[in-house]
């Protein structure tokens, strides 16, 4: 059974940094396309970033230059380093995985990030 468990969320002041982690079991993150998707409470889904085909990465424009996706295959863990956080980054962040190209059949439970002073 696949489990994706996000940690590292919480309350952070504007301009601050957080690193989200997504620990995977039941699948190999090195063999999967991995992504972060976020959702403002009560709103829709927004794709944030993906890592694929080794170390290739992609980001939504609103986080480019501020967020960095990475993975540690030895720990089977995905990361999202979030710098220069803004109030509009407040959301539940989901980790997602797939063996197919970028439609995601495995999701974590989500972790809330709140950016506020």
Partner 1 sequence: EIILTQSPATLSVSLGERATLSCRASQTVPKQLAWYQQKPGQAPRLLIYGISTRPTDIPARFSGSGSGTEFTLTISSLQSEDFAVYYCQQYKIWPLTFGGGTKVEIK
Window 30-59: residues binding partner 1 (CB under 8 A): 35, 37, 44-47, 50, 58-59
Residue 108 touching partner 1 (CB under 8 A):
yes
Residue 73's SS3 state is coil
26-56 burial: b if 16+ Cβ within 10 Å, else e? ebebeebbbbbbbeeeeeeeebbbbbbeeee
Shorter beta-carbon distance to partner 1: residue 17 or 62: 62
Shortest spacing between CB 18 and partner 1, in angstroms: 20
Cβ atoms 49, 58 nearer than 8 A? yes
Residue 8 touching partner 1 (CB under 8 A):
no
Residue 7 touching partner 1 (CB under 8 A):
no
């Amino acid at each position: 059974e696949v489990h994706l468990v996000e940690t590292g969320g919480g309350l952070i002041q504007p301009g601050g940094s957080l690193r989200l982690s997504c620990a995977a079991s039941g699948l190999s993150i090195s063999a999967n396309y991995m992504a972060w998707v976020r959702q403002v409470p009560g709103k829709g889904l927004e794709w944030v970033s993906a890592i694929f085909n080794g170390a290739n990465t992609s980001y939504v424009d609103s986080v480019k230059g501020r967020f960095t996706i990475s993975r540690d295959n030895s720990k089977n863990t995905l990361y999202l380093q979030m710098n220069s956080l803004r109030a509009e980054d407040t959301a539940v962040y989901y980790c997602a995985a797939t063996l197919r190209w970028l439609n995601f059949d495995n999701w974590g439970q989500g972790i809330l990030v709140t950016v506020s002073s």
